[in-house]
């Protein structure tokens, strides 16, 4: 979904759309909004935006993922954040900057 949102919107708008989608999905499942994680959401949007800028135009999300298989690694954020910081209550509630390595911005 991040790729689709970023094809039409900037990082800020894509993050807001993703947040709304995730919160709606949680509500649909009967799960409270406390499961939503602000930092993970924004960091993944930022990562996808970075790889979109690096890999150039793609004809589809499938092609984009083929060109950027590192995005399939669920632990990629741990190259930017310590587990303690990423999974802290502060990071769940609001975006926090990485404590290991910044996420490139475009």
pTM equals: 0.92
User: Token match 């083929």: residue?
Assistant: 66
Measure the CA dihedral 22/23/28/31, to 10°. 110
pLDDT band at 98 (very low <50, low <70, confident <90, very high): very high
Domain ranges of the chain: 2-93
Q: What pLDDT sits at residue 65?
A: 95
Q: What would the pLDDT profile of 40-76 be if each residue is shown by its tens digit? A: 999 999 999 999 999 988 999 999 999 999 999 999 9
């Amino acid at each position: 979904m991040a790729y689709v949102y970023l094809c039409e919107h900037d990082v800020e708008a894509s993050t807001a759309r993703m947040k709304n989608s995730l919160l709606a999905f949680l509500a649909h499942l009967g799960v409270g909004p406390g499961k939503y994680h602000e930092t993970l959401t924004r960091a993944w949007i930022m990562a996808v935006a970075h790889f979109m800028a690096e890999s150039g135009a793609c004809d589809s999300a499938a092609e984009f993922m083929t060109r950027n298989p590192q995005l399939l690694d669920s632990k990629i954020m741990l190259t930017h954040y310590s587990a303690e910081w990423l999974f802290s209550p502060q990071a769940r509630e609001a975006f926090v900057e990485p404590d290991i390595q910044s996420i490139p911005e475009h």
